[in-house]
């Protein structure tokens, strides 16, 4: 049984106990509505034979960290609290030092679904008339990421600067549809205009020197990272790949169903550390 409800952090341990009859370990995630997708995703990473029939969405990062902090005492139950990395890597933030905590190695778990084989399996499952060859020809995630890499990375460097400076302005919540072309790629002019507007506002509010210092920090941290690492796939990549899939294969599925299908076929090689961590928990 799965649920889309989120639970208060103080109820986390009790919730795990209630579900212990159907789960060999307790997983708590930073989420409210994607329980099924998380479940399908994590089952891919678990060793064969391990029971996981539900995950526990606690809401935002704060709620997950509070729940984890209150669950540091030794007890026999295997458990893991998972948080997104968000802007942590761009800002050089260390993972909070707590037992039973795992920080994803990409922006959010949807970033783990950006794999060509996952997309081919998902689309051919959602549309039985679509062939693997046709999906590969019409939707190549690596080619799409390459084409949009510089725009997305520059935009999220800017968003990270805003996060650090705590400027009140829509960043990740700003709709990606405002920045795309009709072919479901990002428009260079629209993205540049958006970035220019944001930096202009930041300089007016915080001063050029302060903005430059934070920009240099973030830019330096981003050098060995790709858009698939540091950009929100949930908000800025999956929506356009979903639109491209619907246009190319006349699919009527919702984005939620699309993400669920991608999660079912997630490539576990993307994060071998998560796979090992889960395996150690259920030894």
Query: pLDDT confidence of 101, banded at 50, 70, 90?
Result: very high
pLDDT at 91 over 60: yes
Query: Cα separation of 41 and 104, whole Å?
Result: 13
Residues 58-73: what's their mean pLDDT? Answer: 93
Residue among 183, 176, 162, 169 at smallest CA distance from 227:
176
State pLDDT tens for residues 218-234: 999 999 999 999 999 99
State pLDDT tens for residues 141-172: 999 999 999 999 999 999 999 999 999 999 99
Query: pLDDT confidence of 17, banded at 50, 70, 90?
Result: low
How deeply is 156 buried, as exposed, middle or buried, from its count of CB atoms within 10 A (0-12, 13-18, 19+)?
buried
Residues 34-39: what's their mean pLDDT? Answer: 90
pLDDT at 185 over 80: yes
Query: Cα separation of 257 and 259, whole Å?
Result: 5
Query: Cα separation of 50 and 111, whole Å?
Result: 24
Residue among 50, 109, 46, 100 at smallest CA distance from 73:
100
């Amino acid at each position: 049984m799965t649920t889309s409800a989120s639970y208060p952090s103080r109820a986390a341990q009790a919730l795990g106990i209630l579900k212990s009859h159907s789960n060999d370990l307790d997983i708590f995630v930073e989420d409210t509505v994607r329980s099924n997708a998380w479940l399908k995703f994590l089952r891919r990473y678990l060793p064969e034979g391990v029971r996981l029939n539900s995950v526990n969405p606690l809401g935002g990062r704060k709620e997950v960290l509070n729940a984890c902090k209150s669950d540091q005492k030794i007890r026999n139950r295997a458990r893991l609290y998972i948080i997104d990395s968000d802007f942590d890597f761009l800002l050089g933030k260390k993972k909070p030092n707590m037992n039973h905590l795992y920080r994803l190695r990409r922006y959010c778990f949807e970033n783990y679904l950006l794999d060509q084989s996952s997309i081919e399996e998902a689309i051919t499952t959602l549309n039985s008339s679509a062939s693997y060859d046709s999906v590969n020809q019409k939707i190549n995630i690596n080619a799409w990421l390459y084409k949009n890499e510089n725009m997305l990375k520059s935009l999220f460097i800017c968003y990270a600067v805003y996060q650090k400076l705590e400027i009140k302005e829509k960043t990740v919540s700003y709709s990606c549809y405002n920045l795309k072309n009709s072919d479901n790629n990002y428009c260079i002019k629209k993205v540049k205009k958006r970035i220019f507007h944001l930096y202009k506002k930041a300089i007016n509010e915080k001063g050029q020197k302060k903005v430059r210092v934070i920009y240099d920090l973030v830019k330096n941290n981003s050098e060995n990272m790709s858009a698939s690492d540091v950009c929100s796939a949930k908000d800025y990549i999956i929506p356009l790949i979903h639109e491209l899939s619907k246009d190319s294969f006349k699919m009527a599925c919702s984005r939620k169903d699309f993400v669920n299908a991608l999660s079912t076929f997630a490539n576990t090689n993307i994060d071998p550390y998560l796979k090992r961590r889960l395996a150690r928990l259920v030894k």
